[in-house]
Amino acid sequence: MGKPRVRPDLFVVLGATGDLMERKLLPALYAITTSTGPAAAALRILGCSRRPWTERQFRSYAVRSLVAAKAATRSDATAWAARHLAFHSFAAEPAEQFDGLRTQIEEEERTQRTSGNRVLYLALPAEAFPPTIRAIGSAGLNRGPGWTRFVIEKPFGRDLASARSLNQLIHRSFDEKEVYRIDHYLGKETVQNLLVFRFANMLFESVWNRDRVEHVEITVAEQLGLENRAAYYDQTGALRDMVQSHLAQLLTLAAMEVPTSLEADQVRNEKVKVLRSLEPIRPQDAIFGQYTAGSVDGEHVVGYRYEPGVRRRSSTETFVAVRLGVNSWRWHGIPFYLRTGKHLATKLTRIVVRFRQPPVWFFGPMEGGEIHANTLSITLQPDEGFELGFEIKRPGHAISLESHQLHFRYSEAFGPLSDGYPTLILDVLRGDQTLFVRADEVEESWRVFGPLLRNPPRIRPYPAGSWGPKAAEELLGTEGHEWCPP
Ligand code: BG6
């Protein structure tokens, strides 16, 4: 007797001809359907878009995208597209009526003998979220014969009020257990490894607190600029684009207490507690910057206000540095410094934990007059790994000290890492919400960062290719701290 055929789940992508599908989702869907077991291998993917394309045109577009992303050869991609892809065009339908889509989904479910399970993935610009969510509800797409899971990309709201109303709208059609809010940083191996690093290694956990730590730094520096997204970015800025989402997530993982298990809500309960314990940000604790002309990696870059699509008098921030206080038993009084920016000197995502100096020093002066404190530097990308800095005695008669690093590199141990999307999509199919942002996490994050947008600090210029405005250095200097050199 042959094995029973696996009934495919249906993966519906709304916005299937957009940039996200082309660069991230198609390569990820290809990877998981070709390498992760029979359930994913059977997946049926229904792309939806307003473009008046035929199924054949959609498949050719998918093949081109997979080849361009170096995810597959042309012949493999062609066979894959024929096996997995279907297309629905909204072109002939009245806007925001999904009755035609419902008919097609039901037909797919019948003709492909699917499991009846549906993923509805919103790969759309934020302004399309509310009407699309309403249309999904009115057409009844939220209830199928099996489970239905709803996936939504950032930005999730523009402030606390809009995030709340988006959550309310979603909850009219979906239970929170069915909602998967993507923050793609949570899919990165190195970000997931933060939990393992902290909670599988007693060595670090026992010193991870206010008694031993002087301060914590989280840097997400990009060399990239606007990448043809000027219209979106100029309305959004670095605080919304990066800080409220990605940096806030990194902060929660660095600062959270140990969860009772890895079950999704246990982990997310601990993360949300960190956000709840953040102190309100004082005006002097935030620096906003905007890049002016400069050079990044040897290439000339025009100033932000001269980028095509940006308003000439724009006051959108392309750099943010902020000092945060976590008012918890573990962290009270220890500053967390966050910074991010476009067109900075190098690409670097890193968490640095600076430990305290020994209370008494009897080894004589260090080179440069400074007593070095131990530093743990976890690089999340690129060149993923970590360094632990420590002092050793230089061989010889006299006691003289030198700083050295223990290091670990993912590339040496495991080879290259994939981006987070295959992990996240597989988790959606398996129903594991651990790496997705819960409604209360988003709202708490807006509660903390939103007030900065109502009352923004003045914008300080910085040359492209630098490390941001000088004031970002001074932000730490007042406490005798400094950003760890790259
Ligand atoms: C996105 C932001 O969420 O993250 C982009 O919208 C940013 O502006 C990107 O460039 C950074 O992601 P990564 O994975 O390249 O660090």
Q: Which domains does the chain have, with CATH numbers?
A: 10-153 (3.40.50.720), 186-417+438-477 (3.30.360.10)
What span, in angstroms and rounded, lies between the C-alpha atoms of 447 and 278?
10
Partners of 403 in beta bridges: 391
Q: For 271-363, list the strands marked E by DSSP.
A: 286-292, 294-296, 299-301, 319-325, 335-341, 348-355
Total residue count of the chain as it appears in this document: 486
Between residues 402 and 179, the one the model is more confident about: 179
Does the pLDDT at position 367 exceed 90?
no
- Are the C-beta atoms of residues 120 and 14 closer than 8 Å to each other? yes
Q: Which whole number is the average pLDDT over 341-349?
A: 97
Residues 6+ positions from 412 with CB-CB distance below 8 Å: none
What span, in angstroms and rounded, lies between the C-alpha atoms of 409 and 180?
31
What span, in angstroms and rounded, lies between the C-alpha atoms of 395 and 345?
37
Average pLDDT in the chain: 93
Is residue 343 part of the annotated active site? The answer reads no
Q: What are phi and psi of 352, to 5 degrees?
A: -115, 125
Partners of 272 in beta bridges: none
- Are the C-beta atoms of residues 242 and 349 closer than 8 Å to each other? no
Which pair of structure tokens corresponds to residue 413? 């141990």
What span, in angstroms and rounded, lies between the C-alpha atoms of 245 and 317?
16
Residue 431, amino acid: G
Does the pLDDT at position 3 exceed 60?
no
Ligand 1 atom nearest 222 alpha carbon = 10
The catalytic residue among 84, 184, 215, 246 is 246
Between residues 314 and 361, the one the model is more confident about: 314
Does the pLDDT at position 1 exceed 60?
no
Ligand 1 atom nearest 419 alpha carbon = 14
Specify the pLDDT at position 394: 85
**Per-residue pLDDT tens over the stretch 182-236:** 999 999 999 999 999 999 999 888 899 999 999 999 999 999 999 889 999 999 9
Sign of CA dihedral 465, 295, 418, 431: positive
Which of 227, 232, 241 has the most ligand 1 atoms within 8 A of CB, as the residue to mutate? 241
Share of the chain above pLDDT 70, in %: 98
What span, in angstroms and rounded, lies between the C-alpha atoms of 335 and 331?
8
Does the pLDDT at position 15 exceed 70?
yes
Per-residue confidence band for 2, with pLDDT thresholds at 50, 70 and 90 = low
Q: Which whole number is the average pLDDT over 440-469?
A: 96
Does the pLDDT at position 168 exceed 80?
yes
CA of residue 461 to ligand 1 center, whole Å: 22
What span, in angstroms and rounded, lies between the C-alpha atoms of 220 and 264?
26
Per-residue confidence band for 93, with pLDDT thresholds at 50, 70 and 90 = confident
Between residues 478 and 322, the one the model is more confident about: 322
- Are the C-beta atoms of residues 63 and 77 closer than 8 Å to each other? yes
Specify the pLDDT at position 360: 83
Ligand 1 atom nearest 224 alpha carbon = 10
Residue 328, amino acid: S
Cis preceding linkage at 382, omega within 30: yes
Residue nearest to atom 4 of ligand 1 (CA): 242
- Are the C-beta atoms of residues 248 and 385 closer than 8 Å to each other? no
Per-residue confidence band for 365, with pLDDT thresholds at 50, 70 and 90 = low
Q: Which whole number is the average pLDDT over 382-399?
A: 89
DSSP string across 381-443 = ESS-EEEEEEEEEPSSSS--EEEEEEEEEHHHHH-PPP-SHHHHHHHHHHT--TTSB-HHHHH
Which pair of structure tokens corresponds to residue 128? 């399309």
Specify the pLDDT at position 399: 81
Does the pLDDT at position 16 exceed 70?
yes
The half-sphere exposure of 360 on its side-chain side, counting CA atoms within 13 A, is: 1
How far apart are the two ends of the chain, measured CA to CA in Å? 61
Pairing of strands 348-355, 213-221: antiparallel
Does the pLDDT at position 345 exceed 70?
yes
Residue nearest to atom 13 of ligand 1 (CA): 185
DSSP 200: S
**Per-residue pLDDT tens over the stretch 242-296:** 999 999 999 999 999 999 999 999 999 999 999 999 999 998 999 999 999 999 9
User: ∠134-269-377 over CA atoms, to 5°?
Assistant: 110
Per-residue confidence band for 94, with pLDDT thresholds at 50, 70 and 90 = confident
CA of residue 111 to ligand 1 center, whole Å: 39
Residues 6+ positions from 10 with CB-CB distance below 8 Å: 44, 46, 105, 108, 109, 112, 114, 115, 117, 118, 119
Ligand 1 atom nearest 154 alpha carbon = 3
Specify the pLDDT at position 348: 97
Sign of CA dihedral 247, 340, 166, 432: negative
Specify the pLDDT at position 36: 76
Q: Which whole number is the average pLDDT over 329-358?
A: 96
Which pair of structure tokens corresponds to residue 251? 């902060």
DSSP 359: S
Q: Which whole number is the average pLDDT over 82-101?
A: 89
Specify the pLDDT at position 417: 85
Per-residue confidence band for 369, with pLDDT thresholds at 50, 70 and 90 = low
Specify the pLDDT at position 366: 63
Lowest mean pLDDT among 180-189, 236-245, 388-397: 388-397
Q: How far is CA 251 from CA 48, 163, 189, 384, in A?
A: 36, 20, 16, 18
DSSP string across 259-292 = PSSSSHHHHHHHHHHHHHTBPPPPGGGEEEEEEE
pTM: predicted TM-score of the whole model, two decimal places: 0.94
Pocket-forming residues, ligand 1, beta carbon under 6 Å: 222, 224, 241
Count other C-beta atoms under 10 Å from residue 363's C-beta.
12
Q: What are phi and psi of 413, to 5 degrees?
A: -85, -35
Which of 19, 153, 184, 247 has the most ligand 1 atoms within 8 A of CB, as the residue to mutate? 184
Which pair of structure tokens corresponds to residue 347? 């690409």
What span, in angstroms and rounded, lies between the C-alpha atoms of 342 and 467?
10
What span, in angstroms and rounded, lies between the C-alpha atoms of 292 and 303?
4
- Are the C-beta atoms of residues 240 and 159 closer than 8 Å to each other? no
Which of 192, 224, 232 has the most ligand 1 atoms within 8 A of CB, as the residue to mutate? 224
